[in-house]
Structure 1
Amino acid sequence: MGKGDKKTKRGKINRGTFGTRRPRIKKKPSVETKINIDKKNIVTQ
């Protein structure tokens, strides 16, 4: 269990892949984008 192991977190980091052991971190929308989206909805209505 180490860098060469496909199923471990360390192995995923070494290979540069993602999976259940090392899922991708989803970016949260920033406050600025939320404000811009709200303004667009108001203008289009």
Structure 2
Amino acid sequence: MGKGDKRSKRGKIFRGTYGKRRPRKKKEKEQKEEQKEEEQQEA
């Protein structure tokens, strides 16, 4: 579990890759759209 481990978050950061343990951050626009959809479903 370190920088050489492909499956750990630290290893992903070291390699510059993404995956289940290190998902990509969503853009603000996408987050706002998702919040609107969730609010509509609740009402």
Tell whether the structures are fold-level matches, with TM greater than 0.5.
yes
How big is the alpha-carbon RMSD for the aligned residues of Structure 1 and Structure 2?
A: 0.5
Aligned length: 29
Relative to its length, the structure with more helix (as a share) is 2
SS of corresponding position for 2:4? coil
Q: CA deviation at 1:28?
A: 1.5
State which structure, 1 or 2, has the greater radius of gyration over its C-alpha atoms.
Answer: 1
**How many angstroms apart in 2 are the aligned matches of 1:3 and 1:14?**
6
Post-superposition, which runs of at least 4 consecutive aligned residues in structure 1 deviate over 6 A? none
For structure 1, the 5+ residue unaligned runs are 30-45
Counting aligned pairs with the same residue, the percent is 72
User: Paired residue for 2:6?
Assistant: 6
Contiguous gaps of at least 5 residues in structure 2: 30-43
